[in-house]
Structure 1
Amino acid sequence: MLSRRFLLGGAAAGLIAAPALGAAKKPAAPGKGFVTVKDGRLMLDGERYRFTGANLWYGAWLGSPGATGDHARLKRELDRLKALGVTNLRVLGAGERSPAKAAVAPTFQEKPGVYDQDLLKGLDVLLAEMAKRDMKAVIYVNNFWDWSGGMPAYLNWVGNGPWFQQGDPAHPWPEFPDYSGRFYGDEKANALFRRYLIGLVGRQNTVTGKAYRDDPTIMAWQLANEPRPGGTEDFGNKNLPTYYKWIRDVSAIIKTLDTRHLVSTGSEGSMGCLHSETCVVEAHKPDTIDYLTLHVWPNNWGWIDVKNQPATYAAGEAKCREYVTRHIALAKSLNKPLVIEEFGLIREDRAFVPGSATADRDRFYKTIYSLALDDMKAGGPVAGTNFWAWNGEGRAQHPDAWFVHGDKSFVGDPPQEEQGLYGVFDADASTKAVIAEHAAAVSAL
């Protein structure tokens, strides 16, 4: 029973008929309300565009008229974020059914070519509500990690395997990133991905009647969440030419379909690029990539020990400062803007409960915000920040705080993590104050 879902008969059926691909069009002036790039800086209507943002990957799920939908909550969350001064949201615009236990369901693509019209409508609703609040969206259209399906799901669909779940003890790290990195060179998997991508970029919003490519609410399309060339140097280095080509090819497809919006990679920086700044530069060199992205995860990278955070915080923070500073220099070398679009830190004692101690996190947020603000004041390439992530009124539904298929109280922590690990709840007063203070300082510029 497909109900609102149905099997595609063509490249873009069920999303919207996409324009034919051909030679890239000469970009026209995007028009009022569109974010653009000029002289290595983000611009909006002739002025520097600077922002304080958040990650809200689940926005389309709340906007959906289907089982996951909660339109009233979506509006409340957007109002809360707007009140904090948040004006830019990074959201997920794709998802593929994954066999992984810790994966979101339902998804935008339940089977190859079977698209969930409720979630697509949910994305329409999200963009319409954001437009009412003068917010901008960055929409990522794939995922290196399996919590939303992503590249591993495409590989599984085409039989490039054997598939295994991230974190499977039988496949210790870094087997997973080497496996996911196969995606870039798998033509069958990419054909499925491109079919979805072409339809999404060519979609018409069912709420506003506006074509996505004509909607200034969208700031940028993003190729994927944290696309890496691989995990090991052996596999990753051999895969680099394929990885670079994939970035060029997919960004060119988007620019051919949509001449008005920016395109970004979703890269973490050198930590997601075989620890190589050269890799970062090469990945962001194409003219079809408009700005650099940066993620900062000191717990995940072992810079701040989750089991001994107080004692390791200072040294870890110093590494984060250096990491951000180095990538600002890379952005300058390419004369392109930089967005710090993910950063986070666990609560004290690795707690997940709303309102629990966040002194270390607040200090970390202040560090990232100060680095961004200082560069903005100096006229540098940093355009904005998006903390990871907004939980709002969402709450863990189970005592162990793990997501279970069917849960509807979405939070910013994806299913691969405990619900509340990194996200900011509506009850986290001190962290919200830090965000609001920074947003006011950015607005004052």
Structure 2
Amino acid sequence: MKRLSILPLLACAVALLAGCAAGGQGDEQAEADPGFVEVDDMSFIRDGEAYPYVGVNMWYAAYLGADAPYGDRERLGRELDRLKALGVTNLRILGASETSPFGKSLKVTFRDESGDYDETLLEGLDTALAEIGERGMTAVIYLNNFWEWSGGMGTYLSYVNGGEYIDLGDPAYPWPAFPNFVADFYSNDEANALFRDYAEAVVTRTNSVTGTPYVDDPAIMAWQLANEPRPDPDAAQGNAEMAAFHAWIDETARFIKSLDRNHLVSTGNEGMMGCNGSAFCFTGAHDGDAIDYATFHMWPRNWSWFDPMDADGTIDGAMAQVGAYIDQHIALAEELGKPIVLEEFGLDRADEVLTPGSPSPHRDRLLRAVYDRVERSAASGGPLVGTNLWAWGGYGRAQHADGEWQPGDTSYTGDPPQEPQGRNSVFDVDEATLAIIEDHAEAISAQ
């Protein structure tokens, strides 16, 4: 069901004589109000000043903000206060989830197959944005997911194909059956119509806490098309699969821009590792004028650069690959002439321990290397101007001794349901890691 609001149009009519346009509605729009993050060449700016940012992933912010048994508004405030004290200025958060058939997926979601949107959870997003804005921070909100843990693209396909799906990790359908299935989303008009209806409802929403339309809210830095959209594994330059991926990015970004001209739009793409190793794929996903900045992610363990069972023997090689991967994407961003953000990266604790406060020497080494590279880039006018550590666990704790997520869990450690709770989480008691984040924030703010 399509949900359109007449409030922005009424606001436009009332303000027309004053020369105001209503937040993204219509052909003309007033210049963005102070406080919006903008792009200037290969930099972010806010209030006329450079805005290189220190960020974290906290996908569960809207869930904490909900006035429901699964919410915890008091914890939300404590988490944001702790992050602000560390110097963190940006949060990457989930703004969409779909009730799905996948085994390891969220069970409380923003929407279901019927098209009914969960107002309680949407009000949780309102609360999260109100709290983020009150602290002068900003949010990047992703509106879909390639992966199964929040429903995502595969769920939309199941809504329109009679309920058929392939679950990630199903031994009957080994890799790459799952990404082959999900990539069909890009060219499925019916599934995309459902997605666009939801995206429009969110982007044009008015915050129930502040009364501010989302399109006019400086607490939102950017809308993100999806978490880690990647092409079909068979996609290559010149074939239909790659063309479908690029077309979906451009068309979806333009659709969001047609609703909201105040905010930036980004892809959420992982970079070369999420593009079948193709520079053509990566640059083609980010070179359109509806995409304001580039993104990439970096997972040394997942990509077999680092072996936690032989941590000391593999960390040096992993760090060499980390440096090369970052430099590769800085060069691609320079070619694009756009800023770039490393918006996911992380590593295990020593011996794969999940316990908050336990040593994480290899993760800390990774953080130092990444932050040093960002500081040097920002100082020299380079394009790498932001990071979002995966993931902020803060005051959350795994609810089960084995660290496995179970339906109904509300502890929100930062790790999504399919992963051990605590694997990549930075908790409030991880003092050595917190000191690294704080030092980096001080260095960035001094530039």
- TM norm. shorter chain > 0.5: yes
Report sequence identity in percent: 50
Residue 301 of structure 1 corresponds to 303
Aligned-residue RMSD, C-alpha: 1.9
Q: In structure 2, what is the equivalent of residue 6 of structure 1?
A: none
Alignment of 1:315-330 (within 5 A): 315-330=317-332
Paired residues for 1:223-262 under 5 Å: 223-233=225-235, 237-262=239-264
2:101 to 99, 102, 126: 99
Inter-partner Cα distance in structure 2 for 1:39 and 1:190: 32
Tell me what 1:394 maps to. Answer: 396
Q: Are the equivalent residues in 2 in contact too, given 1:34–1:44 (CA < 8 A)?
A: yes
The one-character-per-residue Cα deviations of 1:1-27 (angstroms, maximum 9, x if unpaired) are xxxxxxxxx4116x887879x997356
Q: Report what 2:431 is aligned to.
A: 429
Supply the AA of the counterpart residue of 1:51: Y
| 1:309 shift after superposition | 2.0
Query: In the superposition, relative to structure 1, how do residues 160 and 283 fare at CA in structure 2: closer, same or farther (>3 Å)?
Result: farther
CA contact (8 A) 2:96 2:142 kept: yes
Residue in structure 2 matched with residue 11 of structure 1 by the alignment:
2
Distance 1:237 1:396, change over 3 A: farther
Give yes or no for contact 2:237–2:281 (8 Å, CA) kept in 1.
no
SS class of match (2:117): strand
- Runs of 4 or more off by more than 3 Å in structure 1? 15-20, 22-28, 232-238
CA contact (8 A) 1:175 1:231 kept: no
Counting only pairs closer than 5 Å after superposition, residues 255-270 of structure 1 correspond to structure 2 as 255-270=257-272
**Matching residue's letter, 1:152:** G
**1: distance between equivalents of 2:371 and 2:29?**
34
Which of 157, 163, 166 aligns to 2:165? It is 163
1:51 aligns with 2:42: no
Task: Tell me by how many angstroms 1:332 deviates.
Answer: 0.8
* Secondary structure in 1 matching 2:112: strand
Residue of structure 2 in register with 1:206 after alignment: 208
Structure 2 residue runs without a partner (length 5+) = 10-21
Runs of 5+ unmatched residues, structure 1: 1-9
Q: Which residue of 2 aligns with 1:179?
A: 181
How far apart in 1 are the matches of 2:285 and 2:378?
24
> 1:12-46 CA distances to partner (integer Å, 9 max, x unpaired)?
16x887879x9973564212000011122211111
Distance 2:26 2:288 in 1: 14
User: For 2:139, what is the secondary structure of its paired residue?
Assistant: strand
SS in 2 for 1:391: strand
Query: Which residue of the partner structure matches residue 438 of structure 1?
Result: 440
- Check the 8 A contact 1:54/1:389 in 2, yes or no: yes
In 2, distance between residues paired with 1:372 and 1:275? 23
Structure 1 pair 237–371 and aligned structure 2 pair: CA distance change class (3 A): farther
Deviation string for 1:362-396 (max 9, x for gaps)? 00111111111111111111221110000011111
CA contact (8 A) 1:202 1:257 kept: yes
Is the 2:8–2:25 contact (alpha carbons within 8 Å) kept by the matching residues of 1? Answer: no
- In 2, the alpha carbon distance for the partners of 1:414 and 1:173 equals 20
After TM superposition, the score normalised by the length of structure 1 is 0.94
* Contact in 1 for aligned 2:347/2:363 (Cα 8 Å): yes
**Count of matched residue positions in the alignment of Structure 1 and Structure 2:** 434
1:176 deviates by 1.1
Match for residue 119 of structure 1 among 115, 118, 121: 121
Tell me if structure 1 keeps the 8 A contact 2:235–2:241: no
Verify the 8 A CA contact 2:43 2:52 in the aligned structure 1: no
